[in-house]
Structure 1
Amino acid sequence: MNDSPGWATPGSSPSDSGQGAEGADGTRPPAGPAQPTGDPKWSAEQPPPGQWSSPGAPQAPDAAPAPTTPPASAQPRQQPAGSEAAGWGSYGDQRSAQQGSQYAGQYGYPGGPGGSGAHWGKPAAAKPGVIPLRPLGVGEVLDGAVATMRGHWRSVLPITLVVATVVQVFSLITQKYALSEFTIDSQPTTMDDALETVSGTLLASSADLFIQLVGSIIATAMLTMIFSRAVLGNASSIGSAWRDARPQLPRLLGLTLILMVGAILLIGVLVLPGVLLGSFGLGFLGIFAALGLVVWLWTALSLSSPALMLEKSTVAKALARSWKLVRGSWWRVFGITALTQLITAFLSGIIVFPLTALGLALFGGDMDALADGTGQAGWGFLILNAIGIVIALTVTMPMQSGVTVLLYVDQRIRREALDLELARAAGLENYGTAAGTTAPPATPGG
C-alpha cells in the first residue's frame, strides 16, 4: 500500500487496488503475439499486439493483421532491453509508489538501474511549471530554482530582502553596542573579568544567532510554499505563502533546533574524550569522525523541512520521510546540495567582498586600527558590510531553499510516481495513462 502521506500524495495505483498491469490471477497480458488457442487463461481471439509488443517485433502467422503503420513520428519509442514496462507512454497505468526503481530504470537517467541513458535519454514530459514532470537532472534542479526566482520574483525577493534586512540590522546593533563592549584586554586580567567577558560575548552572540535562526525559518517556510506552487505553474502572493506556512512554523522551529542541537551534541560526545585525556591524536580523530557523521546525518535529513511543510506532518514523521527518500540516493542528494552551497558561497563572496574592502579602505583607519580590530567597529564599515550581506542573502537564500524543495519533489517522483499526481493537479487528466500516450505540450513555467 502507498504510505506517502500529506501533500500531493499519488492517487490510487494498481498496487493499491490489487490489479494493475497484471490480471486478477497475477498473470500479465501477452506482450507479443497472441496466445495459442486452447489455453484456458486466454480467449481464442486476441486483439493485435498494439503497444504491448515492441515496435518492429515479428508477428505470429496466425495473429490478427496489424493496423496500418503510423508515421515514424507517431510510433512509440522502443523499450530498452530488459525493461518490464509495457511502453514509454503507458507507464502510469503499471507502476505504483512501490515501483520507483522500475520507473528510474525506465527513464534511464544516469546512474539509474535501467542504464546510463546514453541510448534512450529522457522521454518528453509536460512542463506546467518550472520543472518537467519526470526525474530531474542536476542542471534541471538548479535551473528550476533560478527559473522560480526569475518568474516569481515579486513574491520571492521581497521575502528574502525583508528577512535579510531585519536580521542584519539586529546583527549590526549587536556588533556595535554589545560585542564591542566584551573584548579581552591584552593586559593581565582577573579570572572574574575574563569569565564576565566570555559570558557576555556568548549571550550577545546567542541573541544574534537566535534572530538569524528565526528569520531563516520564516523565509524557508514561505519560500517552500512558493516553490511548491511554481512546480504546477501557479503564482503565489506573499500573503498566501504566509497563510500556508504559518501553521507549521512552530514545528519547523522545533525541527531546526533538533538538528542543530543534535549536531552539537554529536561533536561534543566524540571530541570530549580526547579533550579530557589531553590526547591530540584522539581529539583529532574525534573531530574527523564527528564531522563525517554530521555531514552524513545532515544530508540524510536534509529533506525533512519540505516534508514537514508540504505534507503537514509532525517533526518525527518529517525526519523519517527524509531518511526514507534519501536512502539509496545519498551521494546524489549530497552532491547537488554541496554544489548549491559552493555556487551560493561564490556569489556571496563576489557581492560581499568588494563592499567589505571598500569599508576597510574608507573607514578602517590606519594599520594599527586594522591590527587591533578597532577599524572594523566603526559605523561606516559595519553598514557597508551589512549592505553586502543583505544583497547576498536576498539572492542566495531562495536558491538554497528552491534546490531543497525540488530535490524533495524529484525524489518523490523517482520513488512514488508523484509526477502523475502533479500532472492531475495541473489539469493534465490523462497524463501518463494509456489514453495519453503522448505527453501534452509543455507550457511556460510561472
Structure 2
Amino acid sequence: MTDTPGWASPGSAPSSEGREPGASGPTEPADRPGETEPAPQPGTGPQGPGAKWSKEQPPPGQWSAPTGASGPHQAPPPSPGWGGQQPGAPGPGGYGAGYGRPGGYGAWGGGWGGPPSAAKPGVIPLRPLGVGEILDGAVSTMRAYWRTVLGISLIVALIMNVSMVLIQGFVLNDVVVQNTLSDPNATPAEALHALRDTMIGAGVVSVIRTIAIIVATALLTPVTSRAVLGRTVTARENWREARPQIPKLFGLLILLGLIFAGVMLAGALPGLLVLVAGGDNAGSALLSLGVLAASIVTVWLWIRFYLAAPALMLERQGIVKSLKRSAKLVRGSWWRIFGIMLLTLLITGIVSAIITIPFTAIGAAVSGDSMDNLLGTSGGHVGWAALIISGIGALIGTTLTLPISAGVTVLLYIDQRIRREALDLELARAAGVQDYGTGAPGPVRGS
C-alpha cells in the first residue's frame, strides 16, 4: 500500500494533492446529445444539408416507440430506481453517481433494496464502508483469527491491567485524598493538593490505557490487513511483519505524549501561575477553564492523529510522516471518525462492564469492602484482594475489547483510503479478484 493519492470517489473530499496524471475518474459519455454535435434543424438531415425533411412532422414532445417494436433501437422501460434513471446513463444514478463507471452505485435499480453486492474476498466488501460494516469487520477479524488476535490482546491487556492495579493500589487508594475531595470544609490549598494527586493518578491511568490501545492497534494492523484480503496469518508471521516498525511505534507514542502533555501544560499554566501568586479563587477558575480548553484541543488532535498507527505499520512511514498522513486522511471527515470512535468506546465499555461488574462484586464479597469503595464513590480504603479480583475481570474484558477497538481503527484507515484514493482497486488486485473495476460501487448510504 503506497502513499499515492489517486482519485477521489464522489461524495467524499478529494485528496489535497489533486488528481495525478493517469488517475482514473468519472468520465462523461462521448455521445451525449447537445455536446458532440448540434441537433438537426429543419432543412438538414443525416444525409447532409441537401436532404429535405418532410413537411408533415408529429407535434414536438410526442415521439414514442412503435408498439411491439423490437431491436436495438427500442426504448428501454424506465428504471424503478432513483429518479427512473438507467444504470450507466448520464445524470443522477448513471455515470454521475458511483465511481463513474457504467452500472455504478448511483443507480441501485431496486429502489429500496440497498446497494448491489461488491467483491468481498475477506471480512469487508471492497467499497466505502458503512458504520455497521466497520464494526462487523472488526468482530469478524477477531472471530476468524482468534488465536493470533486474542494472544496479542492478552499480552497487551496483561501489562496494562497490572500497571493500573498497582497505580490504583499505591496512588489512587489514598483515603486522605478521597476524604479531602468529599469534604466541603476543606481549605482551597488542601483541595488543590488532593485534586493534583487525583489528576496525576487519573492522567497516568489514561496514558497507560491510550498506550495500550495504540500498541494493540499497531500489532493487530497486519492481521486486519490480511483479513481484508481473506488470507490467513499466524502470530509468528504477524510479528515478523510488525517487528521492523516497533521502534518507530514507540517513537510515535513518545511524540504523541509530548504533544498532548504540552497542550495540557499550556492550558493549565496560566491558572497555576495565578495560584502561586496567591489568587486562590481566580487561579482555580482560570485553571479549570484552561484545563477544559486544553482537553478540547487534545481531543481534536487525538482524532486528527487517530490513523497514524495504521499508516506507520502498513505504509512503512516515518513518525512525522505518519502523523501528516493521518491528518490528511482525517481532513474533512473529523466528525465522522469522532462519532465512530465514540460509538466504539460505548460498545466496548458496555461489554467490558458486563464482564467486570461480576468480578467487582465477588471482590467486594471476598474482601469485605463495600461496592461504594470499589467504585470510588466513598472515601473508604480498598483492599488488595478486591483490587486483584476486579483486575482479573478487567483483564478479561480488555482482552476481548481491545481487538474491536484496534480493528475499527485499521478499517477506518482502509475505508478512508478507499474513499479518497481508490484503494479498493489495489486491494482487489492483491486479493486476486478478476475483472474488478467494471462495476465497482460508490459511497454507501448511512456511512
Matches within 5 A, 1:192-341: 216-277=213-274, 278=279, 279=282, 280-341=284-345
Q: Distance in 2 between matches of 1:364 and 1:147?
A: 41
Q: How far off its partner does 1:163 sit?
A: 2.5
Q: Distance in 2 between matches of 1:205 and 1:291?
A: 14
- From 139, 142, 145, give the equivalent of 2:138: 145
- From 387, 390, 394, give the equivalent of 2:395: 390
Q: Deviations over 1:42-71 (max 9, x none)?
A: xx9xxxxxxxxxxxx999xxxxx7389999
Q: Is the 1:344–1:396 contact (alpha carbons within 8 Å) kept by the matching residues of 2? A: yes
Which residue identity does 1:129 align to in structure 2? Answer: G
Q: Deviations over 1:370-399 (max 9, x none)?
A: 86644x2333x1221111111111111001
Q: Deviations over 1:205-253 (max 9, x none)?
A: 9998887676555432221111111111112111111111111111111
Q: Distance in 2 between matches of 1:233 and 1:163?
A: 25
Residues 76, 156 of structure 1: CA spacing in aligned structure 2 closer, same or farther, 3 A cutoff? farther
The residue number in structure 2 matching 1:414 is 419
Q: How far off its partner does 1:364 sit?
A: 2.8
TM-score by length of 2: 0.69
Q: Is the 1:14–1:21 contact (alpha carbons within 8 Å) kept by the matching residues of 2? A: no
- From 99, 119, 123, give the equivalent of 1:130: 123
Q: How far off its partner does 1:183 sit?
A: 7.7
Q: Is the 2:229–2:427 contact (alpha carbons within 8 Å) kept by the matching residues of 1? A: yes
Which residue identity does 2:242 align to in structure 1? Answer: A
Q: Deviations over 1:101-123 (max 9, x none)?
A: xxxxx746xxxxx9xx9879533
More off after superposition, 409-418 vs 364-373: 364-373
- From 344, 347, 350, give the equivalent of 2:348: 344
Q: Deviations over 1:121-143 (max 9, x none)?
A: 53321111111111111111111
Q: How far off its partner does 1:416 sit?
A: 0.5
Q: Distance in 1 between matches of 2:208 and 2:297?
A: 27
The residue number in structure 2 matching 1:99 is none
Residues 367, 398 of structure 1: CA spacing in aligned structure 2 closer, same or farther, 3 A cutoff? closer
Q: Distance in 2 between matches of 1:203 and 1:282?
A: 19
Which residue identity does 1:323 align to in structure 2? Answer: A
Which residue identity does 2:30 align to in structure 1? Answer: P
Q: How far off its partner does 1:348 sit?
A: 1.4
1:427 correspondence with 2:432: yes
1:81 correspondence with 2:81: no
Which residue identity does 2:336 align to in structure 1? Answer: R
Q: Distance in 1 between matches of 2:201 and 2:331?
A: 39
Which residue identity does 2:4 align to in structure 1? Answer: S
Identity of aligned residues (%): 44
Q: How far off its partner does 1:410 sit?
A: 0.7
Q: Number of residue pairs matched? A: 374
Q: Is the 1:175–1:377 contact (alpha carbons within 8 Å) kept by the matching residues of 2? A: no
Q: Is the 2:25–2:100 contact (alpha carbons within 8 Å) kept by the matching residues of 1? A: no
Q: How far off its partner does 1:271 sit?
A: 2.4
Matches within 5 A, 1:5-20: 15-17=20-22
Residues 329, 173 of structure 1: CA spacing in aligned structure 2 closer, same or farther, 3 A cutoff? closer
Max Rg structure: 2
Q: How far off its partner does 1:431 sit?
A: 0.3
Q: Deviations over 1:154-200 (max 9, x none)?
A: 21112112322244345545666x5599886999xxxxxxxxx9999
The residue number in structure 2 matching 1:399 is 404
Q: Is the 1:217–1:253 contact (alpha carbons within 8 Å) kept by the matching residues of 2? A: no
Which residue identity does 2:437 align to in structure 1? Answer: G
Q: Is the 1:227–1:402 contact (alpha carbons within 8 Å) kept by the matching residues of 2? A: yes
Residues 294, 409 of structure 1: CA spacing in aligned structure 2 closer, same or farther, 3 A cutoff? same
The residue number in structure 1 matching 2:14 is none
CA-based RMSD: 4.8
Q: Distance in 2 between matches of 1:391 and 1:237?
A: 22
Give unmatched runs, 5+ long, in structure 2: 7-17, 39-45, 47-62, 66-70, 181-193, 442-447
Q: How far off its partner does 1:430 sit?
A: 1.5
Give unmatched runs, 5+ long, in structure 1: 7-12, 38-43, 45-56, 60-64, 93-105, 109-113, 188-196, 440-446
- From 377, 380, 383, give the equivalent of 1:377: 383
Q: Distance in 2 between matches of 1:290 and 1:202?
A: 14
Q: How far off its partner does 1:282 sit?
A: 3.1
Residues 346, 35 of structure 1: CA spacing in aligned structure 2 closer, same or farther, 3 A cutoff? same
Give SS of 2:326's match. helix
Q: Is the 1:180–1:377 contact (alpha carbons within 8 Å) kept by the matching residues of 2? A: no
Q: Distance in 1 between matches of 2:322 and 2:340?
A: 21
TM-score by length of 1: 0.69
Q: Distance in 2 between matches of 1:140 and 1:319?
A: 26
The residue number in structure 2 matching 1:4 is 4
Residues 150, 79 of structure 1: CA spacing in aligned structure 2 closer, same or farther, 3 A cutoff? farther
Q: Deviations over 1:331-390 (max 9, x none)?
A: 11111011101111111111112211221122135899986644x2333x1221111111
Residues 247, 31 of structure 1: CA spacing in aligned structure 2 closer, same or farther, 3 A cutoff? farther
The residue number in structure 2 matching 1:160 is 153
Q: Distance in 1 between matches of 2:129 and 2:232?
A: 22
The residue number in structure 2 matching 1:30 is 31
